[in-house]
Chain A
Amino acid sequence: GAGVSQTPSNKVTEKGKYVELRCDPISGHTALYWYRQSLGQGPEFLIYFQGTGAADDSGLPNDRFFAVRPEGSVSTLKIQRTERGDSAVYLCASSSVAFSEQFFGPGTRLTVL
């Protein structure tokens, strides 16, 4: 595709609900990253995929967060039992190979009421 896309652009949910956020990387990019950005802060690393496998998930804050990339392209970030503190913009980025130039999507703004 022309760029990284993310859906939905906005998600409002209630505390305790389950949400899924989707990322479509640039076609052919093998590396995919998820970040979380709070207001006034830089993005914070969550997880990195190389192909289908999660090469590094050390940034996931707790076991309510999980991400998959089953076919090495689209990735889904899943959050269970959402809490108000999960409210943030979730950003996805991809790069052609690991740790080359990253290209970001527009983000999903998650609001937990």
Chain B
Amino acid sequence: KQEVTQIPAALSVPEGENLVLNCSFTDSAIYNLQWFRQDPGKGLTSLLLIQSSQREQTSGRLNASLDKSSGRSTLYIAASQPGDSATYLCAVRPNTGNQFYFGTGTSLTVIP
């Protein structure tokens, strides 16, 4: 069974800082990986989807990288803003089976 880990569980940074969130997975045979943000009491908002053949994806101030061989993905947020405060989750879909496996998330607070 795929295990997905996100470290740190919580992160607090001053506004304007660049930061990196980490996602690790135990089985490198993945189909794709998706990053989400979740605001308190809300559903998940899709940020980026990386296919297994890709190394990175970019959207605005966000950049997600994927290293399948080491079982890692990172989400880079440039010039953080208070509005970026949320929980960030990664989800992995293995090559076999129909399940997506989620990490427990990193709770980000950007201090004005």
Q: Which residues of A contact B (CB under 8 A)?
A: 4, 6, 33, 35, 40-45, 48, 55-56, 58-59, 91, 93, 98-107
Known A-B contacts A40-B104, A101-B49, A104-B43; A45 and B99 likewise in contact (beta carbons under 8 Å): yes
Contact with A along B87-109 (1 / 0, CB 8 A): 00101010001111111110000
Interface residues of B, count at CB 8 A: 23
Contact with A along B20-52 (1 / 0, CB 8 A): 000000000001101010000011111001000
Contact of A102 (CB < 8 Å), options: B98, B100, B101, B104: B100
Counting CB contacts under 8 A, is B4 at the interface?
Answer: yes
Can you identify 22 A-B contacts, CB atoms within 8 angstroms?
A42-B89, A42-B102, A42-B104, A42-B105, A43-B44, A43-B102, A45-B101, A48-B99, A55-B98, A56-B98, A56-B99, A58-B99, A59-B99, A91-B44, A99-B93, A99-B98, A100-B49, A101-B34, A101-B46, A101-B49, A104-B36, A106-B43
Give the distance in Å from the alpha carbon of A34 to the alpha carbon of B109 in the complex.
Answer: 29
Q: Which residues of B contact A (CB under 8 A)?
A: 4, 31-32, 34, 36, 42-46, 49, 89, 91, 93, 97-105
Give the distance in Å from the alpha carbon of A44 to the alpha carbon of B103 in the complex.
Answer: 10
